[in-house]
Amino acid sequence: MPATIVDLGRRRHYGAFYGLDPVPTDRPLLLLLGNCQAESLRLLLDPAAAEPLDQPAVPAPAGPPTDAPVDTRGAHPTAPGGAPSAVLRGAHPTRPTSDVVSVRVPPIHELTADDLPHLDALLARADLLVAQPTRADYRGLPLGTEQVLARARADLRTALVSSVRYAGLHPFHVVVHPPELDGVVPPVVAYHDLRAVVLAARGHTDPGADGSRLDDLLGDLPPLTADAVRAVGDDSGAELRRRQQQHGGVAVADLLDDPAVDDMRTVNHPGPRVLTGVARRVRASLGLAPLEVDPGRPLLDDVHAPVHPAVAAVRRPADGPAPSPDHWRVGGRSVAERDVLAAQLAWYADHPAMVREALARHGRTLDHLGLAP
């Protein structure tokens, strides 16, 4: 597809950001700047941005047949305590009114130098900003939190919210994005499995025809224990607390103190209970009235990781359907975990630098899991 067509489609998708669509001026302007979680929060903070419930998205089949691995590694779907709150539902064809106006902003890792004037034009008008704490000169651009705030209105109300990452439900899974390996992601899903990483480090990068050797290779690894599950979860929760304290951000870590098995779709995609809890606290931090919004469709729903039986044994039961113990759900399809492991194990043969990075960055987790390289 020609780059011009892709660019036009992107500009249309983010029409208000690029000035193609008008932005109402009768309510406070709310911007959210961060990763894919930011767009989901926007849909929970701005009732007018949420889909009315009389126009729901078609749900994925409850139990699709197992298919060959589908590669969705670049996918970031954009469609994403306190007193009792009202639940606002779209009961009419027109979208409900809102106490804020929000603008869909591209994920921060997708912003380019050409996007900065459009961002700054909105920052000059914005009344409210929800931002993921970001280091200075992120990806070579002035997108660090302090840099962004310096270009915004002096009376801007800001809520900093650390990206929710939690491995206590998926202790084998990690995300590795070193700057020197930008854009290098494993096949099928953008999550590394430390079991495959360790096997690759030991020189076992051939899963055999149709993954025939994989079961034997995995059988040589120690089993996942309840103590390991708790240790990885404790570390993950402590890191989330450290980040929110470092940046003075909205408290969200306690939402995962006693997680249910469906509270995280993946290690970096919260489930509905956590997302709505974060949104509730962000509204309070910004001084907005308590209000819960039903977006009319699942958020961050494109990828669901399997939950190992050892995890399910020590975590609370799911509020809804329990995640599969041995299949990923990717774009509505069920993909066997062993197929993902086999594909990634073979991929590591050509990407030894990623194996080294994963080992270096996640040594403590490997220790908890008893996985020595």
The model's pTM is 0.85
What pLDDT score was predicted for residue 64? 38
For residue 52, pLDDT beyond 60: no
pLDDT digits (tens, 9 = 90+) for 122-174: 999 999 999 999 999 999 999 999 999 999 999 999 999 999 999 999 999 99
pLDDT digits (tens, 9 = 90+) for 271-285: 999 999 999 999 999
Q: How many helices (H) and strands (E) does the chain have?
A: 12, 13
What pLDDT score was predicted for residue 11? 86
What pLDDT score was predicted for residue 373? 80
For residue 69, pLDDT beyond 80: no
Tokens standing for residue 188 = 């099928």
For residue 65, pLDDT beyond 60: no
What pLDDT score was predicted for residue 119? 97
Least confident of 17-31, 63-77, 248-262: 63-77
What pLDDT score was predicted for residue 48? 86
What pLDDT score was predicted for residue 6? 56
The correct answer on CATH 3.40.50.12080 for the domain covering 3-369 is yes
The residue among 160, 156, 157, 124 whose CA lies nearest residue 286 is 157
Query: Between 369 and 295, whose confidence is greater?
Result: 369
What pLDDT score was predicted for residue 95? 53
Question: pLDDT band at residue 295, thresholds of 50, 70 and 90?
Answer: confident
Question: Can you say how many angstroms the Cα of residue 165 is from the centroid of all Cα atoms in its chain?
Answer: 8
Q: Are the C-beta atoms of 272 and 298 separated by less than 8 Å?
A: yes
Q: Are the C-beta atoms of 35 and 137 separated by less than 8 Å?
A: no
Q: What does the domain layout of the chain look like in residue ranges? A: 3-369
What pLDDT score was predicted for residue 87? 40
- Residues sharing a CB contact under 8 Å with residue 158, sequence separation 6 or more, in sequence order: 128, 129, 130, 131, 149
Q: In what order do the strands lie in the sheet with 128-131?
A: 101-102, 29-33, 128-131, 157-160
